[in-house]
Amino acid sequence: MTCLEKSEETSPYLLRVSSQEASFWKTVKPLLGHLDMELTERCNNNCIHCGINLPAGDSAAKQRELSTATIKSILTEAASLGCFSVRFTGGEPLLREDFEEIYLHARKTGLKVILFTNATLVTPALAELFSRIFPLEDIEISVYGIKKTSYEAVTRAPGSFEAAWRGIHLLLEKKVPFVVKSALLPPNRGEVEDFETWASTVPWMDDFPSYSVFFELHGRRDEKRNQMIRSLRPEPNAGVQFLARRKKKYLNEMEAFCSKFIGPPGDRLFACGAGVGGACVDAYGMAQLCMDLRHPQTVYDLKKGSLNEAVTQFFPQVREVKPENPDYVARCARCFLKGLCEQCPAKAWAEHGTLDTPVDYYCEIAHTEARVLGLLRKDERAWEVSDWKERLRNLSHREYGIKSKRRSSWT
């Protein structure tokens, strides 16, 4: 720079950017862009499908949780590594009595905050705080039913329906931006239309709400919980039909997704972006590549080391791990649906206790979606397909993604 640039009416030196598209550092990426913090595994709901929650009053869990000071120190270190946003999740993060202090610390450190909550514990004071000091990202509220009967059949917590709606209305009154999402479960399956009609009245909803459909098993591999979760999972075909119920939207989104993200991973076990530019910290101070990956050999104890060490030394080592399971090598490593398929080390861990065992449920879902998209023919297995690149090209050239001969899939 040799000379100041010429000024205009509005200063040309100040750049305004929406935080939704904040990518000032497109060319220079910070060591850590995003942090997920599970503030607690405890929750005041007891949702039938949940893969993590412990009872709200679990004193042993509460005792093990990170102290306020430790959480603040992790947030400060994250910011020093260039972190720009933190997601507070749980369990129910608002169960922590020090939530306000943690939230304020995050914001005063210059972090945007994404809060995952059931909204039942939103108080007038908290809504006021959020309205005065915005999180800078929409709060994400899980709504399990539009009626008390359906909602509480999911949460198994009497009074939770009224509490959630009270919290939602407090945020609405204070104009605190939030979006809603749900989980497709037997008690609320008949209410999707009503839920979406209501969701469309939420001022910050610019799309249909998202749903959890194919539930993940318990992150700590609790077999009792897993039996319940398995019983709630939809058949792959039914689940995919639900996801694809708005066919043009679904096909357009999937076309964009597939052209970018699918292809055989080869001998890489970590074909996803887990642990690259982001980190997760569980309620007890273990740094993880992703929030679901809790295999003991893939977590780093922040009580014995720093977040910097986790991100720069430990995570890259974990990502170097190669698959050994012959079934994985023969199938998943060669499968072009990788990306579309949710098979990953975290899912393999939750399902089988290893990092590289194929998860048949996700395999079936991916094959079902691929058939709906016209990427696979009936009875084909994706790891045996050699002309997958051509099939992908055909997908992206289709108008609305439907070939006439496959139209019957949609009826």
Partner 1 sequence: MDVKGMLDAVYAPSEDIVARSIEGELIIVPLVSGIGDLEDELYSLNETGKAIWDRLDGKKTLKDVADELSAEFEAPAGEIEKDLIGLLEELVRRKILVAVG
Interacting residue with partner 1 among 76, 166, 177, 213 (CB under 8 A): 177
CA dist., res. 166 & res. 49, Å (int) = 23
Binding segment for partner 1 (CB under 8 A), chosen from 128-136, 220-228, 329-337, 340-348, is: 128-136
Q: How far is the CB of 180 from partner 1 (least distance, A)?
A: 18
The amino acid present at 295, given as its one-letter code, is: H
Binding segment for partner 1 (CB under 8 A), chosen from 12-20, 209-217, 227-235, 329-337, is: 12-20
Residues 6 or more apart whose CB falls under 8 angstroms from that of 212 comprise 49, 181, 182, 183, 184
For residue 309, with 0-12 CB atoms within 10 Å meaning exposed, 13-18 middle and 19 or more buried, which class applies? Answer: middle
CA dist., res. 139 & res. 187, Å (int) = 25
Q: Is 211 left (phi over 0), alpha (psi -120 to 50) or beta?
A: beta
Binding segment for partner 1 (CB under 8 A), chosen from 15-23, 42-50, 158-166, 335-343, is: 15-23
Residues 6 or more apart whose CB falls under 8 angstroms from that of 157 comprise 44, 45, 46
Q: How far is the CB of 175 from partner 1 (least distance, A)?
A: 9
- Residue appearing with tokens 């194919």: 214
Q: Using alpha carbons, select from 366, 394, 379 the residue that is nearest to residue 403.
A: 394
Interacting residue with partner 1 among 55, 110, 190, 353 (CB under 8 A): 110
Interacting residue with partner 1 among 3, 63, 223, 296 (CB under 8 A): 3
For residue 354, with 0-12 CB atoms within 10 Å meaning exposed, 13-18 middle and 19 or more buried, which class applies? Answer: middle
Binding segment for partner 1 (CB under 8 A), chosen from 69-77, 132-140, 307-315, 334-342, is: 132-140
Q: How far is the CB of 279 from partner 1 (least distance, A)?
A: 16
CA dist., res. 88 & res. 165, Å (int) = 21
Interacting residue with partner 1 among 54, 75, 86, 136 (CB under 8 A): 136
Establish if 15 lies at the interface with partner 1 (CB under 8 A): yes
Chain residues 245-274 in contact with partner 1, contact rule CB under 8 A: none
Establish if 17 lies at the interface with partner 1 (CB under 8 A): yes
CA dist., res. 196 & res. 116, Å (int) = 19
Q: Using alpha carbons, select from 275, 391, 274, 245 the residue that is nearest to residue 342.
A: 274
Q: Is 394 left (phi over 0), alpha (psi -120 to 50) or beta?
A: alpha
Kindly tell me which of 61 and 104 has the beta carbon lying closer to partner 1.
104
Sign of the C-alpha dihedral computed for residues 147, 153, 155 and 158 taken in this order: positive
Binding segment for partner 1 (CB under 8 A), chosen from 7-15, 271-279, 282-290, 394-402, is: 7-15
Establish if 10 lies at the interface with partner 1 (CB under 8 A): yes
Relative to beta strand 278-281, strand 286-288 is: antiparallel
Kindly tell me which of 108 and 403 has the beta carbon lying closer to partner 1.
108
Q: How far is the CB of 204 from partner 1 (least distance, A)?
A: 9
Interacting residue with partner 1 among 69, 133, 238, 256 (CB under 8 A): 133
Interacting residue with partner 1 among 25, 257, 400, 410 (CB under 8 A): 25
Interacting residue with partner 1 among 34, 87, 112, 218 (CB under 8 A): 112
Establish if 12 lies at the interface with partner 1 (CB under 8 A): yes
Chain residues 38-97 in contact with partner 1, contact rule CB under 8 A: 79, 82, 84
Kindly tell me which of 32 and 154 has the beta carbon lying closer to partner 1.
32
Interacting residue with partner 1 among 14, 193, 206, 408 (CB under 8 A): 14
- Between the CA atoms of 37, 39, 40 and 45, what dihedral angle is there, to the nearest 10 degrees? -100
Establish if 13 lies at the interface with partner 1 (CB under 8 A): yes
CA dist., res. 322 & res. 310, Å (int) = 19
Residues at the site binding partner 1, with contacts judged by CB under 8 A: 1-20, 22, 24-25, 28-30, 79, 82, 84, 107-112, 131-134, 136-137, 177
